[in-house]
């Protein structure tokens, strides 16, 4: 077991703070200057001509890059664990990129939206080129992957669908999907929580912002629901449509359809070629996932099979939604193997 | 508090066993001979010319008429509690009819279906006429009501919509409604439970029938889901379509639309006149209802308001879905008052 | 699967209402006239010289004899299921006696107490002799057993310890035991529930009695805690000592010791000979029992082993505390076999 | 709301790494070199003659000093929030000391034990003197306080009891106490979890150490139970006695008494003078605390009242055990006010 306070890296983690033009003028007034952490594997500096596959890491809702340094008991951080994968030779070396997509509402779902900003473009059109320009990556899509958990797993599902010219591999741990099972229950919880705010999410938001972070049991459900509405069902002027009636929880069909258009399960058909081009697809989740993302994973696997994509690593295990970061190194190794050039 | 073992009635409970032609040839081979319990209030036998309003009582899923005799601690049975309402003069006297709509799958949802049988017709075309023929009811719809909890509350919602010529008042305690919140979560639970049955609900059903009733934690979710599929999405030949993929829980849109067509919230518009004709509407539920039927109740209230029906008794209270039978006498008194002839 | 409404018995269930002198003057003013149901197996009336072993059935907290008629979905009642055991020849025939030990506080724990009444004496000194006098029992202890669930399982544990001259076999399903795990958590729940009653259980009791049975989520925890205090830690004048401080939940050591003196696990040593004399001991519970009575069962098994009693049927299964009545026929068959005369 | 990634401090946080002789030869082989973080308030460097009260901060179980840098959504870290208290002038300035007492078993409970090491002596005899020597503290006990949550709240309860010559104020957020309610339930969970390890906690420990941190739902209950046994019921040779039988969960009375000797509620009487000497006592917890530490807090308040200590800030609020770090700045301000010299 590791010493508790920190671990030495065999590779190197570079911490950059960069200004991203794509985020300028974003509707929430979020910073255009963002951290970007780039990990290079052991040996990188000793092999100045070698090029490496790259894996982009996306975070779950309310995550931001500084949280990759959070320590939890008896665990390595993911950068440390990733370093272990490479230093022990469990996978060919790769560059790992930690991307920040935090917003005032806790996240961006890695999409372009008038409600939050252009985080998909930011990732694809600014972050990736910057990394390719400053690190010795193999810059063809078959050598570039994306991974993440929860909302990050959603980002890992959709980004290669939208940009197969950039991404040729993905890993999704308990990735948001099958929205009828994962989201609708949240709407019910939110509706009950809004009773004390006259069914007005903006009254809650005003109150929430005055408090020292989440202090009520449904605050994070409300944050996520507000934020995802900003991502999936914002109007052109940046205003937000909730997918449900906040008095009763009843689905608003037209808005809900906009959400479903972003359900990875429903996107598979529209992006079949992109998915067929992937060199690596890893999907996993805990069998007790509180948002039923084990079923979301299964639905993805089935939808992929329907378009002929069956070379998928799919795995369920005894866990809920939390505490599954010990899974990330496994999929990282998988991606590194699949995205490395054949010898 | 009552003595534990039983209570004397001031009125009289008649227990009939009758043969109902409407149920003949039902696809599940369920009995055509059914119990029918009819309660007459104190004074009924002493006033041979008096006629009374009548209230039909429907049960929740897996309920059958014999369960009205079940005793729970510190509680009267509902027939006893109803008797108390009348004997204490808390409401004008009424006849109360306890209807049986059990099936092999645990219930009928009080609809006509090739999957279960014609329980709507049975109720409306056989039970009601029989009662009117054998008891001194006031047989106009403005003097006839229907009440129930859970699936029984669903029956109480829909039967007056379909047959306003018969029913002029309703009370629904935690009645099934707003299916996106009440049912979809069940599908997720069922899907997980079916993993050990290869995703085949019939394998589970075969196993379940061999066991001495429910012994696994999701058996009742599966029973209800199978049964409601038989009610809402049977084919003409009696075979059953599940509204979700039993491997992943993904909604099957076409089948799900058939279910939604039976969602009371969605039925309001189509039956606006019937609802406007009601003399009494009582809706209640617990604020912690595990199927979010408090939200279903709110959605009904909102849908009713949209068609101009605002004379509704709506009440939420601190409770879950279970143990709320102490609410039934309250709505019974309400119905008896509203459905009695004006003096 | 059984028809829902009722089942025909191959044997016969006699329903008596008798007056019991032992209960006269009981401190709670509970009835001295009690129901007593006696089941005789198929063939009983045709073999007028044959004598049978007898099994006494005790109920869980808040149970009273009329509840044996309660019906639950897809289940036989226990009298019906017991009848099936005998009619199918799965066990030698036995007489089964359904005993009522309800009190105003919901139960008696089958002990003599100035707080509730002399329910142990009632069972042993009045019920048993009456049954022996009116039915053709084999009246030696090796042919008489006792069974029950939860509090009834507690009664089944302790009654043979106290009266091995009467009882020679026992079955305990999720029987109260290992009080540090089963009861202490209840005290915490009660303490929180009493906050709105100024920490005064009598204020709660007065309020509870005015309500139509349990309507708050912790009412039954409070009933049981009050009632068990009346059973285990009443003073000579019938007043009651709670085993915890109702403001903080802190155990009161002296009162708690009085409870522990009634913990079956702690009683084993003091009643070793009585336990060694048993012809049949059946202990079971669900592995998810909410009161940890699976661990209580294990602790009993271990305590029994310590005094050399290892011929014990012990079984754990996937279940919580509720819905395990399907287990009762299994232990009944076991008792009937062990308590029948050898051929 | 704060920017997500970090906040500037008005004061200064010094991060030391020091060698502590008291920990040398500790039985778990844990590091003798430890981090020690010391925060000085704004103005400290500009007032070279001014001396300040000091507050020592202890962490909950499995916490170590590096975790104070962990970021959670919409929250400041505690060092940042503490800085805010002082920079906004909400309390007189104080020095805040972040102490590390991690062990291989996840914690030390801040006691001296042959099972873990001498963490009480480490805190009192090394950390405090070092801080007093290197920072301009007011070194009388009336100007030194200790605070913490959960196990840290336990440390905050007991350290001033044991060393009133050092500590004159304490704040305990959901501090471990009233062990019959907070710990016994854990033993039941552990016992069930140990079924797959033949009831052998060392088998589990060996397996746990091979896994990448906690991956099973009861791992942390087992860690805490093992660790607290090492703290409270180790033998002189460092071996450990569990307070319960790991097959059944049954309390081992003699070992349990050793635990109870460390229950703050039971320690009050023995340390009455020490507690009477405190200038500040703050106790709080959430009303839904999963370990019933709201009741533990009430029991402490009652025990303190019994020895005449009634000047206590006691507060319950709607929360569970997690996510209550927003409470820490409140008690810090309270301590800083009470422990500052009167003007």
* Residues of chain A contacting B248 with CB distance shorter than 8 Å: 178, 295-296, 298-299, 302
Task: State CA B96 to chain mean position distance.
Answer: 14
Question: Residues near B239 by Cβ (< 8 Å), separated by ≥ 6?
Answer: B115
Touch between chain C and chain A: 3 or more Cβ pairs under 8 Å: no
The pLDDT of B87-112, averaged and rounded, is 98
Q: What is the pLDDT of residues A269-328, one digit of tens each?
A: 999 999 999 999 999 999 999 999 999 999 999 999 999 999 999 999 999 999 999 999
CA distance D7 to chain A (A): 12
How many whole angstroms separate alpha carbon C35 and alpha carbon C55?
17
- Partner-chain contact C185 D187, CB within 8 Å: no
Q: Tell me the Ramachandran region of residue B150: left when phi exceeds 0, alpha when psi lies from -120 to 50, beta otherwise.
A: left
Q: What is the pLDDT of residues B15-54, one digit of tens each?
A: 999 999 999 999 999 999 999 999 999 999 999 999 999 9
Angle value at C-alpha B322, between B321 and B325, nearest 5 degrees: 105
* Residues of chain B contacting A188 with CB distance shorter than 8 Å: 181, 292, 295
- A1 closest CA partner among D102, D217, D122, D199: D102
Query: With an 8 Å Cβ cutoff, is B187 touching chain A?
Result: yes
199-238 of A, contacting D, C-beta below 8 A? 208-209, 211-217, 220, 223
Q: Which segments of C145-271 does DSSP mark as H helices, in order?
A: 151-162, 179-182, 184-193, 201-210, 219-232, 253-260, 264-267
How many whole angstroms separate alpha carbon C263 and alpha carbon C292?
14
| Nearest-by-CA chain B residue for A190 | B295
Query: With an 8 Å Cβ cutoff, is B292 touching chain A?
Result: yes
Which pLDDT belongs to residue C3?
61
φ/ψ of residue C169, rounded to 5 = -160, 150
- C103 closest CA partner among C38, C34, C182, C154: C34
* Residues of chain A contacting B188 with CB distance shorter than 8 Å: 181, 292, 295
- The bridge status of strand D95-98 relative to strand D112-113 is unpaired
- Partner-chain contact B251 A187, CB within 8 Å: no
Q: Testing the interface with A: which of D1, D2, D4 to mutate, by most A Cβ within 10 A?
A: D4
pLDDT at D4 over 80: no
Angle value at C-alpha A150, between A148 and A156, nearest 5 degrees: 40
CB A284 within 8 A of CB A332: no
* Residues of chain B contacting C66 with CB distance shorter than 8 Å: 4-6, 71
Q: What is the pLDDT of residues C165-224, one digit of tens each?
A: 999 999 999 999 999 999 999 999 999 999 999 999 999 999 999 999 999 999 999 999
Which pLDDT belongs to residue C135?
98
The pLDDT of B185-198, averaged and rounded, is 98
The pLDDT of B213-238, averaged and rounded, is 97
For the record, the structure tokens of C200 come out as 């005064």
Query: With an 8 Å Cβ cutoff, is B299 touching chain A?
Result: yes
> For residue C272, what pLDDT band results from cuts at 50, 70 and 90?
very high
- Partner-chain contact D248 C192, CB within 8 Å: no
pLDDT at D19 over 70: yes
Q: What DSSP element (H or E) covers A299? A: helix A293-306
Q: Testing the interface with A: which of B177, B179, B180 to mutate, by most A Cβ within 10 A?
A: B180
Q: Which of C5-9, D65-69, D104-108 is the least confident region?
A: C5-9
Q: What is the pLDDT of residues D99-112, one digit of tens each?
A: 999 999 999 999 99
How many whole angstroms separate alpha carbon A127 and alpha carbon A5?
30
The pLDDT of B182-203, averaged and rounded, is 98
Strand order across the A280-286 sheet: A12-19, A33-40, A95-98, A54-58, A144-149, A169-173, A280-286, A313-317
- D275 closest CA partner among D114, D197, D163: D163
- Partner-chain contact C178 D265, CB within 8 Å: no
- Partner-chain contact B292 A187, CB within 8 Å: no
pLDDT at D209 over 90: yes
Q: What is the pLDDT of residues B123-180, one digit of tens each?
A: 999 999 999 999 999 999 999 999 999 999 999 999 999 999 999 999 999 999 999 9
Query: With an 8 Å Cβ cutoff, is A189 touching chain B?
Result: no
Which pLDDT belongs to residue A50?
98
Q: Testing the interface with A: which of D5, D207, D223, D287 to mutate, by most A Cβ within 10 A?
A: D5
- D291 closest CA partner among D173, D127, D168, D115: D173
Which pLDDT belongs to residue B190?
98
Which pLDDT belongs to residue B3?
65
pLDDT at C2 over 60: no
- The bridge status of strand D112-113 relative to strand D117-118 is antiparallel
How many whole angstroms separate alpha carbon D53 and alpha carbon A262?
56
**CB neighbourhood size of A31 (10 A):** 17
122-141 of B, contacting A, C-beta below 8 A? none
Which pLDDT belongs to residue C7?
76
**3-state SS of chain A: helix, strand, coil percent to 5?**
40, 15, 40
- Partner-chain contact D66 A4, CB within 8 Å: yes
How many whole angstroms separate alpha carbon A219 and alpha carbon B8?
52
Strand order across the D33-40 sheet: D12-19, D33-40, D95-98, D54-58, D144-149, D169-173, D280-286, D313-317
For the record, the structure tokens of B115 come out as 């999957």
CB B159 within 8 A of CB B167: yes
Percent of chain B's residues with pLDDT above 70: 99
pLDDT at C118 over 70: yes
Question: Residues near D319 by Cβ (< 8 Å), separated by ≥ 6?
Answer: A215, D285, D286, D287, D288, D289
How many whole angstroms separate alpha carbon B123 and alpha carbon B23?
10
φ/ψ of residue A257, rounded to 5 = -60, -35
- Partner-chain contact A185 B185, CB within 8 Å: yes
Given B31, B217, B319, which is nearest C3 (Cβ)?
B31
Query: With an 8 Å Cβ cutoff, is A341 touching chain D?
Result: no
Q: What is the pLDDT of residues D184-195, one digit of tens each?
A: 999 999 999 999
| SS3 at position A240 | strand
* Residues of chain A contacting D66 with CB distance shorter than 8 Å: 4-6, 71
* Residues of chain B contacting C35 with CB distance shorter than 8 Å: 5
How many whole angstroms separate alpha carbon B285 and alpha carbon B295?
9
- Computed on alpha carbons and rounded to an integer, the radius of gyration of chain A in Å comes to 20
Question: Residues near C195 by Cβ (< 8 Å), separated by ≥ 6?
Answer: none
| Nearest-by-CA chain A residue for B300 | A248
- D285 closest CA partner among D157, D196, D121, D120: D157
User: Which chains have at least 3 CB atom pairs separated by less than 8 Å from chain A?
Assistant: B, D
CA distance B161 to chain A (A): 21
φ/ψ of residue B244, rounded to 5 = -145, 160
CA distance A181 to chain B (A): 7
| Nearest-by-CA chain C residue for D295 | C248
ipTM score for this prediction: 0.95
* Residues of chain B contacting A178 with CB distance shorter than 8 Å: 248-250
How many whole angstroms separate alpha carbon A149 and alpha carbon A156?
8
| SS3 at position A46 | helix
| SS3 at position B75 | coil
Percent of chain B's residues with pLDDT above 90: 97
Find the Cα–Cα–Cα–Cα dihedral D134, D135, D136, D142, rounded to 10°. Answer: -110
For the record, the structure tokens of D143 come out as 């100007």
CA distance A170 to chain B (A): 21
- Partner-chain contact D4 A66, CB within 8 Å: yes
Is the Cα torsion angle D232, D233, D234, D236 positive or negative in sign? positive
- The bridge status of strand D12-19 relative to strand D33-40 is antiparallel
Q: What is the pLDDT of residues A100-142, one digit of tens each?
A: 999 999 999 999 999 999 999 999 999 999 999 999 999 999 9
| Nearest-by-CA chain C residue for D294 | C248
- Partner-chain contact B75 C104, CB within 8 Å: no
> For residue A3, what pLDDT band results from cuts at 50, 70 and 90?
low
φ/ψ of residue D17, rounded to 5 = -130, 115
Mean pLDDT (chain C) is: 97
Percent of chain D's residues with pLDDT above 90: 97
User: Which chains have at least 3 CB atom pairs separated by less than 8 Å from chain B?
Assistant: A, C
The pLDDT of C302-313, averaged and rounded, is 98
User: CB contacts < 8 Å between C and D, how many?
Assistant: 73
- Partner-chain contact C299 D191, CB within 8 Å: no
CA distance B66 to chain C (A): 6
Q: Testing the interface with C: which of D181, D185, D187 to mutate, by most C Cβ within 10 A?
A: D181
Which pLDDT belongs to residue D3?
63
**CB neighbourhood size of B105 (10 A):** 24
User: CB contacts < 8 Å between A and D, how many?
Assistant: 101
0.90 surpassed by pTM: yes
Tell me the HSE value of A44 on the side-chain side, using a 13 A CA sphere: 25
Q: Tell me the Ramachandran region of residue A55: left when phi exceeds 0, alpha when psi lies from -120 to 50, beta otherwise.
A: beta
Touch between chain C and chain D: 3 or more Cβ pairs under 8 Å: yes
For the record, the structure tokens of C23 come out as 């209960």
Q: Testing the interface with B: which of C32, C61, C150, C213 to mutate, by most B Cβ within 10 A?
A: C213
Which pLDDT belongs to residue C122?
98
- Partner-chain contact D64 A5, CB within 8 Å: yes
* Residues of chain D contacting C248 with CB distance shorter than 8 Å: 178, 295-296, 298-299, 302
For the record, the structure tokens of C279 come out as 């012809």
- B172 closest CA partner among B341, B327, B336, B333: B327
The pLDDT of A208-223, averaged and rounded, is 96
How many whole angstroms separate alpha carbon C144 and alpha carbon C163?
11
Q: Testing the interface with D: which of A1, A5, A6, A204 to mutate, by most D Cβ within 10 A?
A: A5
CA distance C320 to chain B (A): 9
Find the Cα–Cα–Cα–Cα dihedral D132, D133, D136, D139, rounded to 10°. Answer: 30
> For residue C22, what pLDDT band results from cuts at 50, 70 and 90?
very high
């Amino acid at each position: 077991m590791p010493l508790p306070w920190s671990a030495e890296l065999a590779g190197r983690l570079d911490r950059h703070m960069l200004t991203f033009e794509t985020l300028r003028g974003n509707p929430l007034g979020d910073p255009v200057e963002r951290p970007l952490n780039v990990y290079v594997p052991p040996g990188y500096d000793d092999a100045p001509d070698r090029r490496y596959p790259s894996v982009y890491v996306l975070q779950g809702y309310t995550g931001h890059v500084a949280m990759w340094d959070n320590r939890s008991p008896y665990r390595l951080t993911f950068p440390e664990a990733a370093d272990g994968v490479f230093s022990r030779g469990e996978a060919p070396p790769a560059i790992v990129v930690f991307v920040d997509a935090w917003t005032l509402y806790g996240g961006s779902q890695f999409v372009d939206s008038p409600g939050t900003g252009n985080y998909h473009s930011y990732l694809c059109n600014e972050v990736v080129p910057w990394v390719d320009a400053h690190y010795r990556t193999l810059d063809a899509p078959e050598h570039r992957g994306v991974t993440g958990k929860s909302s990050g797993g959603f980002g890992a599902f959709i980004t290669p669908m939208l940009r197969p010219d950039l991404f040729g591999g993905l890993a999704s741990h308990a990735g948001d999907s099958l929205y009828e099972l994962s989201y609708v229950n949240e709407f019910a919880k939110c509706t009950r929580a809004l009773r004390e705010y006259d069914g007005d999410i903006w009254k809650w938001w005003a109150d929430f912002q005055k408090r020292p972070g989440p202090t009520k049991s449904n605050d994070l459900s409300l944050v996520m629901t507000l934020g995802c509405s900003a991502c999936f069902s914002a109007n052109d002027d940046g205003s937000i449509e909730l997918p449900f009636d906040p008095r009763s929880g009843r689905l608003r069909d037209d808005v809900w359809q906009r959400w479903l258009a972003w359900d990875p399960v429903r996107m598979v058909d529209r992006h079949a070629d992109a998915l067929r081009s992937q060199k690596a697809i890893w999907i996993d989740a805990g069998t007790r996932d509180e948002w039923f993302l084990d079923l979301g994973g299964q639905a993805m696997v089935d939808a992929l099979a329907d378009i002929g994509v069956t070379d998928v690593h799919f795995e369920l295990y005894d866990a809920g939604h939390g505490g599954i970061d010990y899974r990330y190194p496994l999929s990282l190794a998988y991606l590194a193997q699949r995205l490395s050039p054949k010898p």
